[in-house]
A and B are shown apart, each in its own frame.
Chain A
Amino acid sequence: MPENCIYIARSSAIAARALAGEMMVMNSADSTFFTLNEVATAIFQAADGHTPLREIVRDKICEQFDVDPERAQADAEQFVAELSSHGILLVSNQPLAAEAP
């Protein structure tokens, strides 16, 4: 398995809504609430459990937002760690099955 291969999936405990260009995400278990910026929204929407984070950053972030790949990867990992700590994203070094809603 390649080093740094991270897979991410959206937790079934969350509700998300796009409103006026902003993505709002709430963990319905504890009502924690986040507003995602454009880059974070792209990562969140691509979190299907089987696309590696590095591939998401390459295809969805670097291509669309014209950012340095290493910087984008570091920012993405920080974002993933934060949402994971709030139970919004699931993280694994193996592909994840999507949680049933």
Chain B
Amino acid sequence: MVAARKVACVEIGGIPIALSTSDERFLDLLRQRYAGFLSSSRPEFELEFDLTTTGPVSDEDVRVGREGQAWVLERGDFQARWEPRTGRGSVRQNANPYSLDSVLRILHSLILAERGGFLLHAASAIGDGQAYLFSGVSGAGKTTMTRLAPPNITLLTDEISYLRPSAGGYSAFGTPFAGELARSGENCSAPVAALFFLEKGAENRIEELSSGEAVRRLMRNILFFAEDKRLVEQLFATACDFVARVPIRRLTFYPDARVWDLVRKFDRNFQRVLQHA
């Protein structure tokens, strides 16, 4: 006898994905972990989870490749198969939420690449209706920037930013993918005002980056796992488009709350320059 499958629809970045399982406890885990992102929208995609006793969460590299029309995602702690044409896939993993996050991140990175968007190793937050992104290597200050944010700033994520093209530029969406802050982002979105590459220093300052340097840094921080020439070229085109449309700067900052004054002032000054131009 086959156990009935139950479904939780999780909508991140405006893309609803039905996650189904026959395990009640795993369903509870799904609902708790993605509580702010549960949706009643009609799912665009569907993933069936089957729980196994695979290995613990693994540090080994994930492998994402094509087998015919399907994508195959593998790491020590999960194996998944997803068919873009039908929008359906299956996942075998243990009940670990980190494995679940990894599978969802990879799936979204594949979907976004086809739609001109991407996942970026960056914190993001909304202030005054605009989204600010803060990217950099581990330790550069992504989580610090979110901790220093004034109370009227809405956190989208302290770790993985979700970006999609929108009218006139790009929009950033909240994600449940948390970093050191261990806190899910808010499920909302806003047009991107600026992307800052972070460096810690003795004072706060914002500096220009050449287009080449901006594309180089952006490509280095985009989360993409698939070995696929066409999609890598698509991502490169997207990165160039992003650099052409969104102000990208280096932000050297001293870790106290004043850095946020500089960030918000930058946007106002930038808008004035644009209007003047």
Contact = CB atoms under 8 A, between A and B. Distances in A.
B244 A28 contact: no
Nearest to A14: B233
A33 interface: yes
B212 A22 contact: yes
- Interface size class for chain A? 10 to 19
Contacts of B183: none
Contact of A19 (B219, B232, B233, B243): B243
Given A19-B244, A31-B219, A24 B237 contact: no
B233 A22 contact: no
Given A19-B244, A33-B219, A13 B211 contact: no
B210 interface: yes
Contact of B240 (A19, A21, A29): A19
Contact of A29 (B213, B229, B244): B229
Contacts of B244: 19-20
A24 B243 CA distance: 12
B114 to A, nearest CB: 16
- Please tell me the size bucket of the interface on B: 10 to 19
B212 A24 contact: yes
Contact of B233 (A20, A21, A24, A28): A28
B236 A28 contact: yes
Interface string B193-222: 000000000000000001111011001000
Given A15-B237, A19-B244, A24 B215 contact: yes
Interface of B: 210-213, 215-216, 219, 229, 232-233, 236-237, 240, 243-244
Given A19-B215, A22-B212, A29-B229, 19 more contacts: A13-B229, A15-B233, A15-B236, A17-B236, A17-B237, A19-B212, A19-B240, A19-B244, A20-B244, A24-B236, A26-B232, A28-B229, A28-B232, A31-B219, A33-B215, A33-B216, A33-B219, A35-B212, A35-B216
Interface of A: 13, 15, 17, 19-22, 24, 26, 28-29, 31, 33, 35
